[in-house]
């Protein structure tokens, strides 16, 4: 199998396509779509987002030191894209996309009610990396949509219709191909 060598770049795909809700010190809220996000630690629970300094939401995160990572679904694909290409300087994304700001439990920044999972975060460190600033944050609360709880009280995340971003495309996540530890499980 032949390989081509390309210039250095990020080809770690797929990645989550999330809508991040933010607010400024006066309580004005905005939504930014980011794909550079993920888990960095489980104890304490920590996540990150990377945002270009010129983005409208960047100063809001700096002012308040908080944000909410809102997981997106195939039903929210259009809104997710819109919130990534339109600027909150020019448009009220909440209104234009018919999204509902909800009250978060631990931060002042609103959650997006339509998202099945809202991850409330407080910034612990900002790393200036080049094109993006990475906001490392402690996860202070996770809000989940009750309608996805099964009869035993387990949250059925994989039934929510989650989507991902891969090489310029939004993709619906597919069928299960295994579970954690299945490669070593006794048969």
pLDDT tens for the chain, residues 1 to 187: 999 999 998 888 999 999 999 999 999 999 999 999 999 999 999 999 999 999 999 999 999 999 999 999 999 999 999 999 999 999 999 999 999 999 999 999 999 999 999 999 999 999 999 999 999 999 999 999 999 999 999 999 999 999 999 999 999 998 888 989 999 988 7
In a domain, 94, yes or no: yes
Only one residue has tokens 């700096």, namely 62
In a domain, 184, yes or no: no
In a domain, 10, yes or no: no
Find the helix or strand (DSSP H, E) in which 139 lies. Answer: strand 133-144
| Residue 11 confidence (pLDDT) | 84
Provide the domain limits for residue 113. Answer: 15-172
In a domain, 100, yes or no: yes
Rounded-to-integer distance, Cα 180 and Cα 36, Å: 24
Rounded-to-integer distance, Cα 131 and Cα 147, Å: 39
Rounded-to-integer distance, Cα 104 and Cα 147, Å: 18
Closest alpha carbon to 138 in 48, 57, 62: 48
Phi/psi region, residue 156 (left: phi>0; alpha: psi -120 to 50; beta: rest), is beta
Please give the backbone phi and psi of residue 90, each rounded to the nearest 5 degrees, phi first: -105, -20
User: How many independent structural domains does the chain possess?
Assistant: 1
In a domain, 85, yes or no: yes
Report the b/e string of 155-184 with b at 16+ CB within 10 A.
beeeebebbbbeeeebeeeeeeeeeeeeee
In a domain, 29, yes or no: yes
Rounded-to-integer distance, Cα 18 and Cα 164, Å: 8
Other beta carbons less than 10 A from residue 91's beta carbon: 14
Rounded-to-integer distance, Cα 122 and Cα 69, Å: 11
| Residue 9 confidence (pLDDT) | 85
In a domain, 186, yes or no: no
| Residue 128 confidence (pLDDT) | 97
Q: DSSP labels for 44-90? A: TEEEEEEE-TTSHHHHHHHHHSEEEEEE-BGGGHHHHHHHHHS-TTT
| Residue 12 confidence (pLDDT) | 87
| Residue 112 confidence (pLDDT) | 98
Contact yes or no for 5/56 (Cβ under 8 A): no
In a domain, 123, yes or no: yes
CATH of the domain at 52: 2.30.110.10
């Amino acid at each position: 199998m032949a390989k081509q060598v390309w210039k250095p770049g990020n080809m770690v795909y797929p990645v989550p396509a999330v809508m991040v809700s933010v607010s400024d010190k006066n309580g004005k809220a905005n939504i930014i779509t980011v794909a550079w996000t993920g888990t960095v630690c489980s104890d304490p629970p920590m996540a990150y987002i990377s945002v270009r300094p010129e983005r409208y939401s960047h100063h809001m995160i700096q002012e308040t030191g908080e944000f909410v990572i809102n997981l997106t679904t195939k039903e929210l694909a259009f809104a997710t894209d819109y919130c990534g290409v339109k600027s909150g300087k020019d448009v009220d994304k909440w209104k234009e996309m018919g999204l509902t700001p909800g009250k978060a439990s631990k931060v002042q920044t609103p959650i997006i009610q339509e998202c099945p999972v809202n991850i409330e975060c407080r910034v612990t460190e900002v790393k200036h990396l080049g094109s993006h600033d990475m906001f490392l944050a402690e996860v202070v609360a996770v809000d989940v949509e009750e309608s996805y709880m099964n009869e035993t009280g387990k949250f059925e995340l994989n039934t929510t219709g989650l989507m991902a971003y891969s090489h310029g495309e939004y993709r619906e996540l597919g069928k299960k191909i295994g579970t954690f530890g299945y490669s070593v499980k006794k048969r």
